Structure 1
Amino acid sequence: MPSYAEIANDVLRLMESVGEQAPGVVLHDYLSKLQQYSGRDTILYATNWITDEAHTSNEALITNGDLYGFMRMMRDLKTKKLDLILHSPGGSVESTEAIVSYIRAKFKNVRIIIPYAAMSAAAMLACSSNCLVMGKHSSIGPTDPQFIIPTRTGMHIMSAQFLISEFQEAQSVSEKHPGRLGAWLPLLGQYPPGLIQKCISSQKLSVELVQKWLARYMFENESAAVKKSKKISEIMSSSKKYHSHGRRISREECKRIGLKVTDLEDEQEFQDLVLSVFHAANTMFQYTPVNKIIMNHLGNTVVETLPTPR
């Protein structure tokens, strides 16, 4: 398997003749080789979110626009089997739901390959597969909803469950000791009206979608599909279990909680091709302004770039 450095050197040499198109040419080549090996339609969805500056960028998140990207990717695909290579920090739950519905309207069997990490809503997307493929280094993340809240000290990302628990604690204190409510008012006054109901609704949606997808696809035709799916969806959305939304759920933990996972290392050539695709995608992030890429093995491509600083 070529290393990241070797693939980057190939891209740099090719850039001398074709310029910024070189990373895309190399990436398409590896995607095509992967499809030829597997015999399954193949799509890459990857964003540049590993560096700190990209991690917090809205351009790295799953959005409504990504549905258009998947529509472009799937237009010329012919089979009922899909390999989706997924590398994402997550994003909109509603956009993820739309993407899953669109993919599942076409493909009977979906295998989602995680070469590095799929977090938050991307982990929810992973749960819409028939099977996950993960390496020993791969991970998914908790699915508990998060909210960006404006406060007096700036914008903060907070867990829906944390906010619900905080309001419940304030309610309990005010009922038992009404005189202490004043201490809570400055804190609670920062939050917009309706926030707690929105937290409760988002939490329910996250659990319900994961449960539905697992039962319908990963555990299809299993007698205990509903029970198993409910248990897994509740575990994955539990902020009390994982304590941090950025916590990594390893391949072994995925297996322990009941997800169907195939080891990437089971087939050496397949592993080499998957990681080469991942490395090639990262060269595109390194050498071009591209911040998100959706590409299929036919070379159909949709990219998004970071906005140019003013």
Structure 2
Amino acid sequence: MLGEILWLFLLASALQPVLRQRLLEAARQRLIARIEAERGSRVIVLVHREERMSLLGFPVYRYIDIQDSEAVIRAIHMTDPDVPLDIILHTPGGLVLAALQIARAIRKHRARVTAFVPHHAMSGGTLIALAADEIVMDEHAVLGPVDPQLGEYPAASLVRVVETKPPAELDDRTLILADVAQKAIAQVRRHVEELLQGRYEPEAAREIARILSEGTWTHDHPITFEEAQALGLHVRSGVPQEIYQLMALYPQPVRQTVSVEYLPVPRRGQRTR
């Protein structure tokens, strides 16, 4: 009897994560369907969270990859050209190729495209957002520069090295990297201009593309809502509450040690007599 209870306990423990994941997926699907019904749109969610392997406990960081671009493009192919697209972005970025494929696909969609950024859409996430007709950001959300990175080095920094030192003082590897860096910056700048074409004045599109692609800031610089407005991007505030509810259904894996803790009740100022 005790052995049967033990086996049932082990079975329930093994199934619990699977059942919890299935319930989360079902809740997300219901909420996505509700948002689509309310907005009359196709909702596509691109969320990347840090994942933790259940057995060994080490973190796995997720980024925009080719599987993501294939999935987004499939969703767009399944959407009538006259149906608006709402893409919800929460990502640190990823492969330029994959992000650019997604950006071009939503740019070519005939109906209106809105990119929602409730928290952050950096690097490749920003590239995708730039392809939308409008970016809706939380007042505390951030975008990021799209300047290319070559391994551990920013492309813009490699270019500046060869501009400030005589070629005789540089090794072949640095010169080769700088050549590739120049090409990468020119390519990304041209891609951004293409994505902005038709919705921004040509001069404004060129300036935005230059600022975002040529290493104006470090690659992880957070471009705030106010900075995005100052750049001339088509951004506004007012992320629907349902999108925050949807984000809560993509929980970050629980850490072994809690890093932020508080009593989850409102605190009011005490009146003094």
TM-score range (shorter-chain normalised) is 0.7 to 0.9
Letter in 2 for 1:231: E
Q: Let me know the Cα RMSD of the aligned residues.
A: 2.5
Aligned to 1:63: 65
Q: How do 1:113-124 and structure 2 match up within 5 A?
A: 113-124=116-127
Q: How do 1:150-299 and structure 2 match up within 5 A?
A: 157-171=152-166, 174=168, 181=169, 188=171, 191=173, 194-216=176-198, 218-219=199-200, 225-239=201-215, 241-242=216-217, 244-264=218-238, 270=240, 272-281=241-250, 283=251, 285-286=252-253
| CA deviation string 1:213-267 (max 9, x = no partner) | 1123x33xxxxx111101111111242x32x2111000110001100112125xx
Aligned 8 A contact 1:49 1:88 in 2 = no
Distance 1:93 1:85 in 2: 18
Letter in 1 for 2:87: L
Percent identity between matched residues is: 20
Distance 2:155 2:197 in 1: 25
- Indicate the structure with greater helix content: 1
Name the CA shift for 1:246/1:16 in 2 (closer, same or farther; >3 Å): closer
- Give every structure 1 segment of 4 or more consecutive aligned residues whose post-TM-superposition deviation is greater than 4 Å: none
Aligned to 2:269: none
- Count, aligned residues: 233
Aligned 8 A contact 2:120 2:141 in 1 = yes
Q: Is 1:29 equivalent to 2:24 in the alignment?
A: no
User: TM-score, normalised to structure 2's length?
Assistant: 0.77
Query: Whose radius of gyration is greater, 1 or 2?
Result: 2
Give the alignment partner of residue 134 of structure 2, picking from 124, 131, 135. 131
Name the CA shift for 1:19/1:124 in 2 (closer, same or farther; >3 Å): closer
- Indicate the structure with greater strand content: 1
Distance 2:121 2:143 in 1: 5
- With a CA cutoff of 8 Å and minimum separation of 6, indicate the structure with the bigger relative contact order: 1
Aligned to 1:7: none
254-263 or 78-87, which moves further after superposition?
Answer: 78-87
Name the CA shift for 1:36/1:111 in 2 (closer, same or farther; >3 Å): same
Letter in 2 for 1:61: Y
- Residue 165 of structure 2 aligns to a residue whose secondary structure is helix
Distance 2:221 2:51 in 1: 14
Aligned to 2:55: none
Distance 2:18 2:94 in 1: 37
Aligned 8 A contact 2:107 2:195 in 1 = no
Distance 2:43 2:26 in 1: 16
User: TM-score, normalised to structure 1's length?
Assistant: 0.68
Q: Is 1:108 equivalent to 2:111 in the alignment?
A: yes
Letter in 1 for 2:224: S
Runs of at least 5 residues in structure 2 that lack an aligned partner in the other structure: 1-15, 53-57, 255-273
